[in-house]
């Protein structure tokens, strides 16, 4: 099942100004619901720009981006935001949890932004996600009372509470030690398998990208390689 398709996707910054610069040069890409894909490439190659486009946080200069078959380029901000809220989950390097809220409240946030006051069902779902990331007993703690790895687990549960079709992760392990990073990756993979949620993760760590099904390499705003490989266990 196709989750995402890019066709001739281009992005320029400072359009119409003397310093206009094209940083993505006509990308074609297809992601399936079953994909667990790493996005790699040197600094400045356009990974963040691409993730912002795929996450519907920014719009392309040319080309088209289909999310679950829907063309998105002509959408206004409101439609884009609604589509993002329904289908996309985000995990960032710095987790952006809200310090004044408990872990459970943080997990509920994206759902509340989309739907308002939480129902008993969604609270159950959020608790269940916290259980699945191993934090059932820490649901009432605030982020400041959790370790870095635990905070990133809360962020993953938060990203999944709306059951998105696509999970985008921008260096989600950049801040973590090797062992904790491998655990966070294993969690992402488990949700990819259990929920059929496509995962696209930016990482600089080859030991982690090797555990993905697919590695997409971006250099100077172009996809120079897109390799599928058999799954490996971290550390093998």
Task: List residues near ligand ADP by CB under 6 A.
Answer: 13-14, 21, 23, 41, 43-49, 57, 84, 90, 92, 96, 110
Which residue matches tokens 């370790």?
147
> ∠119-125-128 over CA atoms, to 5°?
145
* Cβ 44 to ligand ADP shortest distance, Å: 4
What's the 3-state SS for 37-59? EEEECCCCCCHHHHHHHHCCCCC
* Cβ 188 to ligand ADP shortest distance, Å: 16
* Cβ 27 to ligand ADP shortest distance, Å: 12
CB 4 within 8 A of CB 87: no
Quick one: 77 or 233, whose CB is closer to ligand ADP? 77
CA pair distance 12, 111, nearest whole angstrom: 32
Quick one: 34 or 48, whose CB is closer to ligand ADP? 48
Quick one: 102 or 162, whose CB is closer to ligand ADP? 162
CA pair distance 33, 35, nearest whole angstrom: 6
* Cβ 78 to ligand ADP shortest distance, Å: 13
Quick one: 34 or 163, whose CB is closer to ligand ADP? 163
């Amino acid at each position: 099942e196709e989750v995402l398709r890019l066709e001739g996707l281009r992005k320029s910054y400072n359009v119409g100004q003397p310093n206009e610069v094209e940083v993505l040069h006509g990308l074609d890409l297809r992601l399936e619901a079953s994909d667990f894909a790493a996005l790699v490439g040197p600094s400045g190659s356009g990974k963040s720009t691409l993730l912002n486009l795929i996450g519907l946080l920014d719009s392309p200069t040319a080309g088209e981006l289909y999310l679950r078959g829907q063309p998105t380029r002509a959408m206004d901000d409101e439609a884009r935001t609604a589509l993002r809220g329904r289908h996309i989950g985000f995990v960032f390097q710095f987790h952006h949890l809200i310090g004044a809220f408990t872990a459970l409240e943080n997990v509920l946030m994206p759902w509340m932004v989309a739907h308002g006051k939480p129902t008993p069902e969604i609270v159950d779902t959020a608790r269940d996600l916290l259980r699945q990331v191993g934090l059932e007993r820490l649901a009432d703690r605030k982020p400041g009372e959790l370790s870095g790895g635990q905070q990133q687990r809360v962020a993953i549960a938060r990203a999944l509470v709306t059951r998105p079709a696509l999970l985008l992760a921008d260096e989600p392990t950049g801040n973590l030690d090797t062992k904790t990073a491998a655990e966070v990756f294993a969690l992402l993979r488990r949700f990819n398998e259990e929920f059929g949620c496509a995962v696209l993760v930016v990482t600089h760590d080859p030991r982690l990208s090797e555990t993905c099904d697919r590695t997409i390499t971006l250099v100077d705003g172009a996809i120079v390689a897109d390799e599928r490989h058999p799954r490996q266990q971290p550390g093998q």
